Structure 1
Amino acid sequence: MDDGRDEDTNADRAATEERRTEALDVLRSNRAEGYTIPSATLYPFQWNWDSAFIALGLAGVEPAAAKEEVESLCAATWESGLLPHIVFHTDAEGYFPGPEEWGVDVEETATSGITQPPMVVPAVRRIYEETGDDGFLDRVYPALERHLEWWVRERSFDTSVVYVRHPWETGMDDSPAWTDPLAAFDPGEVVYEREDRKSDELADQRPTDWDYDRYVSLVREARAVDWDEFDLRESCPFLVEDALTNAIFVRACDDFAALAAARGDDTAATTWREQAEQSREAIRDRLWDEELGTFVSYDRVGDRKLEANSVAGLASVFGEIPTKQQFERLRRTLRDDLLAYEFAVPSYVGDAFDPDRYWRGPVWINTNWLVADGLRRYGSADLADRIDRDSRRLVEREGFFEYFNPETGEGRGSDRFSWSAALYLELTDSA
């Protein structure tokens, strides 16, 4: 007997296809020559981990665009191996901090002087497995290898756990986890004009001037020593072993090992598998917080754990970092503290929770994707499915916003945001 369920299913599929068409429209309208901007509202250039998530989402839909996205990003790799967090392909007049603030050029292309989590490596593996394009892999492989070597050589005190030297490098810019290390130094008088508060509503959602004074001070201190990583290791007041960055780094090492094996380089494959396991062991020991039941970041300057219950700790599953015992505790933390909201997964829960302010509470589609992917690696498909459903519900109800209120689901930040569109394509690929 037809009880209407087939019609409902067909209607749902049609709605999904319509939203996928809209997602492609967002990505195509944000696409420039060889790369995709995150959004026209606030981010008019190429951002490192944005491009990685965008390429990952495009891999099964527009693989040529996905490959071009990655190749454009990799072309901006510094000689040292640093892959910058912003590539200024076009004129940046009126944007702060623009090229003049960073003072960096790579092959006549202006870039920032900091990086972001190496999500580009998992993205390349996804593209390669989708396309089998050996030529593409050959073109990007050297840049990926140099970049991972750079992390080990220039951003680790022990060649195991890596660190960042600016909150922008974490991607989770104003996480409450950074409050204490930022408060520990005086930025002095820092003169600048912000361009990220386009309206009263956006101003209320963005990092405060207190945060920005310190962000800009860190940039200027690094520029003053010509971005020398070893000088900065001694002088920078913000050196943090970030839980999220380390999770993605470990996954990147594993994925690069798989890419090396695909090219027949068994020596490199072994090297990077061993690096991944060495890093996992060190992270399990240093960044685990039993009381919170999650992984946290570590302040190397203040020699202390930064006890914040955030999505960064949950993302450890993306790198398969938790032991079985740690995972059982982490899963309870997820269920009790973060899935208690209407929409999963808030970026932070705790005393400083703010459901509308950037990384202090809102749900982000990219971190949801990371956590869900990792949960499936631990056999927790039920929790992963819940997170994926919430991601789809948010986009289908609100549109392709930058982030979302976990209590009401309301879209926040920039609209027509590229990685929200790209990852919606990834989430509904089999619909």
Structure 2
Amino acid sequence: MTSVLEPAVRTPVTDRDAANPGDTAEAALRRDAAHVLLSNWTGAATVPSRTLYPHQWSWDSAFIAIGLRHLSPRRAQRELETLLGAQWGDGRVPHIVFNRAVPLDAYFPSPDFWRSSSAGAVCGAPADIETSGIVQPPVHALATWQVHRADPAESRRRGFLRRMYPRLAAWHRWLASSRDLGGGGLAAIVHPWEPGLDNSPVWDAALARVEPAPPESFRRADLDHSAAADRPTDLDYGRYVRLAATYRDHGYDDAVAPHAFALEDPGFNALLIASEHALAAIAEEAGADPAPHRERAAAATAALVGRLWSPEAGVFLARDLVTGEAIRAYSVSGLVPLIVPGLPEDVVRALVATAHGEHFGLGRAHMVPSYDLTGPVFDANRYWRGPSWFNTAWLVHHGLALHGQSEAAALLRAQVLDDAAATGFAEYVEPWSGQGRGIRRFSWTAALALDLLRQPDAGRPAHRTKEGEPRR
């Protein structure tokens, strides 16, 4: 088992540690990160932010649990249990679990748009919990295993893995069956929100096929909390709404829904593979057979390389299942497969060279830009069209460490800690200046900074720049 899947057991940070951290930069950052997570806790889960994202998000909660385990393994377990408690009967884990105490107009699309309990009833949507009908990247088994490892005794006492294993196995089965729309052994995405890179330029051509919903048919709540220049455009949103409404109106059933947007994304599938390896470890601990999970991970790795690897580009490319063509664009999603154990050595070498090259500028730009720095539609400020994000940097960091790229991994870890501290745990940053963009006090930024601080070789932030100061 690899270090990314089986980190060393950590001693949890106590409330006293968080309240009296000392006066070092590392201790101050740990204290501040802990405060973000504690203040965004709702009693059963952690919201990404108290303003723009007032509900529970799927892959956010997985990343949050990875950091939260250092404060309270029990609370980290609860985070994942709450999310998986909203799992549908068909196995899918919805990308939003709605808090019924939050007003409908606080976020769009709201529960009355998704209508999961009625529209999704045929697919087993919960009758008593409102959720969305789409999904997000499957980081959950990976997070579950790391949370267990934070306090195995407490995890075993509570039967955490025994309860989580069948739910996680059902989630992976659904992705491998209902979502293998290309028939090649990879899971497909059917909405730009599903891979988490909402408005990436990678999706532009596929989205152009989608007739947008009329602008008067919905009201965006995101612009109440974030600058329009940082967010997806109204045209993007119209297409997002159209795709979600069409899926809803076909009962969220992939067998009958007419998917105008269907792609195989390398980052989504890499996370599924990493989580399949973690699920093998979970199965073994829970008394189940780990062999099927290892076999599926190996088969999916072969499919990932066979279908999405581009030796010419030196990066993994998304494939449009409607046209059958690879999308020749450099996205951070194409670097995320570094987290896959057993990736061929020539592929690893090429990915590392691409990360350091002109497209991503590893070591020169802040963290890892979400899109090609040299691309014609690169936008340094607008959401996933260029800015650098903390969660994808964390994934690339672990991938570099996994494959023995210790110097590059250490540099990226220091950048994540620097930028988290300098921006007040911003949602993401402008890749050249490091200026924080989007929401501050963002939960996964705090959680992943806390996780990197707890790594044995993390050290303290190496060069804390002022927000917006260019990296030298």
1:210 partner SS = helix
* Superposition deviation, residue 322 in structure 1: 3.6
Q: TM-score normalized by structure 2?
A: 0.85
1:99 aligned partner: 111
Contact 1:152/1:159 (CA < 8 Å) preserved in 2?
A: no
Distance in 1, Cα, partners of 2:184 & 2:78? 32
Q: 2:150 corresponds to which letter in structure 1?
A: E
Aligned amino acid, residue 104 of structure 2: E
Equivalent in 87, 95, 120 of residue 77 of structure 1: 87
Deviation digits for residues 292-340 of structure 1, max 9, x if unmatched?
2100111001211111211101100112364111111111111112116
- State which of 6, 19, 37 in structure 1 corresponds to 2:47: 37
1:207 maps onto 2:217 in alignment: no
Residue in 1 that maps onto 2:270: 247
Question: In proportion to residue count, which structure has more helix?
Answer: 1
- Aligned equivalent of 2:61: 51
Q: Displacement of 1:58 after TM fit?
A: 1.2
Whether the 8 Å contact between 1:197 and 1:203 is mirrored in structure 2 is yes
Query: Does 1:67 find its partner at 2:77?
Result: yes
1:351-390 equivalence runs, <5 A: 351-390=376-415
Q: Which letter maps to 1:193?
A: R
For the residues of structure 1 that align with 2:51 and 2:208, how far apart are their CA atoms?
30
More divergent stretch after superposition (11-20 vs 295-304):
11-20
1:389–1:77 distance in 2 versus 1, CA, 3 Å: same
- Do 2:161 and 2:285's aligned partners in 1 also have CA atoms closer than 8 Å? no
- Matched with 1:280 is 301
Q: Is 1:265 matched with 2:291?
A: no
Instruction: Indicate how the Cα distance of structure 1 residues 242 and 321 shifts in structure 2: closer, same or farther if over 3 A, else same.
Output: farther
Query: Matches of residues 326-365 of structure 1 in structure 2 within 5 Å?
Result: 326-337=347-358, 338=360, 339=362, 341-349=364-372, 350-365=375-390
Instruction: Give a deviation string over 1:147-196, Cα, whole Å, max 9, x none.
Output: 01111111113362111100001111011100010012323635211111
1:303 paired residue number: 324
Q: Is the 8 A contact 2:426 2:436 kept in 1?
A: yes
Q: Counterparts of 1:107 and 1:303 in 2: how far apart (Å)?
A: 38
Work out the CA distance in 1 between the residues paired with 2:35 and 2:276. 33
Matched residue, 1:230:
255
Match of 2:123 in 1: none
Shift of residue 92 of structure 1? Answer: 3.7
Q: Distance in 2 between matches of 1:13 and 1:379?
A: 33
Residues 6-21 of structure 1: matches in 2 within 5 Å? 14-21=24-31
Aligned-residue offset at 1:28:
1.0
Partner of 1:409: 434
* Shift, 1:291, TM fit: 2.5
Letter in 1 for 2:220: R
Q: Is the 8 A contact 1:122 1:252 kept in 2?
A: yes
Which of 70-79 and 221-230 deviates more? 221-230
Q: CA RMSD in A?
A: 1.6
Q: Where do 1:163-202 residues align within 5 Å?
A: 163-187=188-212, 189=214, 191-198=217-224, 202=227
Partners in 2 of 1:256 and 1:155 — Cα distance?
A: 19
Q: CA deviation at 1:275?
A: 0.4
**Count, aligned residues:** 416
- CA deviations on 1:380-400 (whole Å, 9 max, x unpaired) are 111111111110110121211
Larger deviation, residues 139-148 vs 169-178: 139-148
1:110 aligns with 2:130: yes
Q: What do residues 79-104 of structure 1 show as CA deviations (whole Å, max 9, x unaligned)?
A: 00010000002234202100111011
% identical aligned pairs = 38
**SS of the residue aligned with 2:388?**
coil
Q: Distance in 1 between matches of 2:292 and 2:161?
A: 19
Instruction: Could you tell me which runs of 5 or more consecutive residues in structure 2 were left unpaired when the two chains were aligned.
Output: 1-20, 118-125, 460-472
The residue aligned with 2:143 is: 123
Residue type of the partner of 2:151?
T
Q: Which amino acid aligns with 1:341?
A: R
d(CA) in 2 for partners of 1:321, 1:173: 29
Contact kept, 8 Å, 2:48 with 2:56, in 1: the verdict is: yes
The match for 1:5 is none
Identify the residue that residue 426 of structure 1 maps to in structure 2: 451
Runs (5+) with no aligned partner, structure 1:
1-10
Retained in 2: the 8 A contact 1:402–1:417? yes
Aligned to 2:161: 137
Q: Matches of 1:277 and 1:410 in 2, distance apart? A: 40
1:284 and 1:321 in contact (8 A); partners too: no
**Contact 1:176–1:352 (Cα < 8 Å) also in 2:** yes
Q: Among 155, 159, 162, which residue is 2:179 paired with?
A: 155
1:425 & 1:166 partners in 2: Cα distance?
31
CA contact (8 A) 1:395 1:424 kept: yes
Q: Is contact 1:54–1:423 with CA below 8 Å preserved after alignment?
A: yes
Task: Classify 1:368/1:13 alpha carbon distance in 2 versus 1 (closer, same or farther; 3 Å).
Answer: farther
Q: 1:229 aligns to what SS in structure 2?
A: coil
Distance 1:242 1:342 in 2: 24
Secondary structure in 1 matching 2:319: strand
Q: Is the 1:160–1:275 contact (alpha carbons within 8 Å) kept by the matching residues of 2?
A: no
- Which AA in structure 2 matches 1:25? H
